Amino acid sequence: MTIENEKVVTLNYKLTDDKGEVIDQSEDGSFQYLHGAQNIIPGLENALTGKTAGDELSVSVEPAEGYGERDDSRIASVPRDRFPEGEIAPGMQFHAQGPEGDLTVVTVTEVTDDSVTVDSNHPLAGVQLNFEVKVVDVRPATAEELEHGHVHGPDDEHQH
């Protein structure tokens, strides 16, 4: 069966950055997505269109087709007293309200006595993503999966 819209695809993959560092991997057949529903980044989804079970491919995804370019305007200095009591250290992450009321994750990059610098770029923004992918299985999506726009697990663990 060929990968196209409205198919559920099972993948094994390894994701590395340009330095060869492993960012993420799934090699036990547990990763599934619904093709054509923007469940995965566009650069990878496009490369998988037309593939079939057993196919292996290497895909290099530019930031524009991945998590976007880094945007320096998403780095902000915030008064220390806007944060909870206790230690704040670089690398910590917080949920914050974005300008349009959307919830975003911000990462602390610098801390001084009276201010905290936070970066709301996606951690993988600006990173070239290199995928080694093996297509494990392709099946038609169920009517319910299509309605929801995502895959439901074999045990129906998805709660509604």
Name the E strands within 46-114.
56-61, 75-79, 93-97, 103-111
Encoded amino acid at 160, one letter: H
Q: Mark the segment that binds Zn ion (CB under 5 A) among 20-28, 62-70, 97-105, 147-155.
A: 147-155
Smallest distance, Zn ion to C-beta of residue 148, A: 3
74 binds Zn ion, rule: CB under 5 A: no
By beta-carbon proximity to Zn ion, the closer residue of 37 and 136 is 37
134 binds Zn ion, rule: CB under 5 A: no
Q: Which residue matches tokens 């994701």?
A: 15
Length of the chain: 160
By beta-carbon proximity to Zn ion, the closer residue of 84 and 153 is 153
Name the maximum alpha-carbon separation found in the chain.
Answer: 59
39 binds Zn ion, rule: CB under 5 A: no
Q: Mark the segment that binds Zn ion (CB under 5 A) among 23-31, 38-46, 118-126, 140-148.
A: 140-148
- Mask for 89-128, x = binds Zn ion (CB under 5 A): ----------------------------------------
d(Cα 125, Cα 105) in Å, to the nearest integer? Answer: 13
148 binds Zn ion, rule: CB under 5 A: yes
Q: Mark the segment that binds Zn ion (CB under 5 A) among 22-30, 43-51, 101-109, 148-156.
A: 148-156
The CA–CA distances, whole Å, from 69 to 34, 76, 107, 121, 127 equal: 25, 17, 16, 9, 8
Encoded amino acid at 76, one letter: A
Q: Quick count: other Cβ atoms within 10 Å of Cβ 51?
A: 19
Applying CB under 5 A, the residues found at the interface with Zn ion are: 148, 158
